[in-house]
Structure 1
């Protein structure tokens, strides 16, 4: 984007309310009213958080908005109005993008963004993860509060180390045995009963399975790298096997049918909730 293009964009009478609103916010983001200064700042901008712009929930950006920020690596559009998603495809350098609470049903429009490493799609209406493996560089994926029942496709993402699928409708997590590289897994508030496949994921250091239907936690005794384990509000009656997890510093067990003396198995230094 040249200076001439930027000046032309600003000098033309706004063709729509969206363009007028976009121009206003370009200056707001740059924190200057000088077009020349604004262009330089926007050109070098690496991170943009529009979730803090409450008025964008009612006003839409015009299609030229993101063209002036070609080097963005992080973009937060949480709770914003999203109409012309193709505008974002100009941002080929994006490594992190957040679309929380924007009403998405699917995410295939993001496939051209090959450099994405962190993808946050929380609080949407996504029901399928078909094609998710196309994000070959993905390291973090958060799909909390969607409408997912089956998520086997995530096992195809070889670089993924952090996965959050809490508050969905998932009952089967057998796919996780193929994700030996995973370090963080959160699946709170689902319908999980069987955790036998989790014992294969030896690199896990954080595991959150609160508010499920789990009664047998013996497979978890082999996860010796765990530092945080959340099993609150399940149906667990026996936790003797968990005493073998020597690296734990935080353990969530409240809301299970346990007795007070069950907690005596663990060192006093362990934080138990």
Structure 2
């Protein structure tokens, strides 16, 4: 991570959401970035918390309950680098945590929850992994920071560091997204797609990963495959405006104007509502 933190643009890239969505999550109290509104700077922990909050909102949990639950988890496991291991879920209108022993805990109260099948959220919150796994996770976070710090100047070193981070924590989605971005920029599309699809094993149907697979397929000229990936993204996140826009362009390119208009209209509506 850069010494002064991540910019809003970098946060949007990692989360796959618009500026207005990030601003709403900040206004709801999920994170408090440093700096003024024109130059917010976010920590890695901020990104994890924002991703988690957005996932829970999509799952239908109220903002107040999300704030309370994440605040409780932050106080319990809030040291930097430890907020990326434990699965969280929306259980009705509550937030639950699943630990290594497959026990379910109410994130607000710490109460043990029994006999339910939670709808998993898109992100993770806290780590209560075994010490060896925890060390691997912390090493992965440090490698991620190193990669991010050199990405603008040395892509080979950044790629190597992202790959090492994923060796230590294969479910580290942000490392997969950044590594895939480097591979796409260097026109190694199949390699990028492989990285994104590996990440889907840990974040099944993650719309940001599906969107990025679509971009890599589109850039490599596989328009029908790209279109399917954008459609999958929209199935799991109907408000993903850029997926609608890209799907509209491909339908237009393929001579399917009716379908293109439908996606363009959805894109314009989402833009107006931001």
Q: Calculate the TM-score normalised by the size of structure 1.
A: 0.29
Query: Which structure has greater strand proportion?
Result: 1
Higher relative contact order (CA 8 A, sep 6+): 2
TM-score by length of 2: 0.29
**Rg comparison, structure with higher value:** 1
Pick the structure with more helix per residue: 2
